[in-house]
Amino acid sequence: MLALSRTITTNQDGPHRDVVKRVERALCHPLRKPVAAHTRAAFEQAQAWYLRHGEGGHRPLILDAGCGVGLSTRQLAARFEDHLVIGVDRSAERLAREHGEVGDNALLVRADLVDFWRLALAAGWQPARHYLLYPNPYPKSSHLKQRWHGHPVLPVILALGGRLELRSNWRLYVEEFALALEHVTGVTSPVEAFAPELPYLTPFERKYHASGQSLWRLVAELPHAPELVPGEREAN
């Protein structure tokens, strides 16, 4: 039986007033957190797989960031057969759940995205598509730093470029992300309600939709722009 999901409860009545302040901070201060050894090892394996299957960079790449059990990774791989799809999640338990075969053009990786994204950018990865599907909303006002648009890694996410798609059941999360996106890149992207296509792309999408919640998304076409990242800017 499918568990129903409660709507988000938050103490915010609009976009957090510190979104731009957090973004400015991320743009000015390089993220100095060392890359964890386990994510470096996972990235090296992913890089080897990408080089082996990537036909010399001719096969477009899709990143499924925070893929959970990897249902979306599997579906995207089936939908975009000529692409390579890499799903990344830090939860070994979620990744291990049995959801059927992973296609030849897909890979599931256990890693911390904060490190994985930085390694991917440093290695010159340029995803054609990049999905952020139902990231944890962190609904309390004090959680802003944990939302991707309030996190110091934001410039790296945007610098990778490609068609970035964020989906959430929390409109405010997507609205705040749109504000941050515009502040960093100048790209404006409408926040729209949408009816999910079937089959559902992810288990969270299915759960929220079955509970009667509205779903929100934002899509932005971004250039590859490593110069957005402060450490990179100084190095060039």
Q: In the chain, what is the greatest distance between 2 CA atoms, to the nearest angstrom?
A: 55
Determine the 3-state secondary structure of 106 from DSSP: strand
Cβ–Cβ < 8 Å for 179, 19: yes
Residue 135 tokens, joined: 């990231």
Residue number, 30 or 203, with CB nearest to ligand SAM: 203
Q: Which span (5-13, 19-27, 127-135, 211-219) binds ligand SAM, by CB under 6 A? A: 127-135
Strand partners, 218: 166
C-beta closer to ligand SAM: residue 67 or 76:
67
Query: Among 180, 158, 200, 190, which residue's Cα sits nearest to residue 74?
Result: 200
Binds ligand SAM (CB under 6 A): choice among 63, 107, 113, 144 = 113
With 0-12 / 13-18 / 19 or more C-beta atoms within 10 angstroms meaning exposed / middle / buried, residue 183 is middle
Choice between 69 and 159, CB closer to ligand SAM: 69
Q: Residues 36 to 75: which contact ligand SAM by CB under 6 A?
A: 66-68, 72
Helix axes 37-53, 113-122, angle to 10 degrees: 50
- Distance in angstroms between the alpha carbons of the first and the last residue of the chain: 55
Out of 109, 133, 156, 172, the only residue in the binding site for ligand SAM (CB under 6 A) is 133
Window 139-198: residues binding ligand SAM (CB under 6 A): none
Q: Residues touching ligand SAM: how many (CB under 6 A)? A: 20
Instruction: Report the nearest approach of ligand SAM to the CB of residue 215 (Å).
Output: 11
Instruction: Characterize the bridge pairing of strands 192-194 and 215-222.
Output: antiparallel
Identified binder of ligand SAM from the candidate list 112, 165, 182, 232, rule CB under 6 A: 112
Find out whether 116 and 67 touch, Cβ atoms under 8 Å: no
User: Is residue 203 close enough to count as binding ligand SAM by CB under 6 A?
Assistant: yes
Distance CA(154)–CA(175), nearest Å, equals: 15
Interaction of residue 91 with ligand SAM, rule CB under 6 A: yes
Sole binder of ligand SAM in the list 25, 94, 224, 233 (CB under 6 A): 94
Q: Is 135 in the site for ligand SAM (CB under 6 A)?
A: yes
99 makes contact with ligand SAM (CB under 6 A): no
Q: Which residues bind ligand SAM (CB under 6 A)?
A: 66-68, 72, 88-91, 94, 112-114, 133-136, 202-205
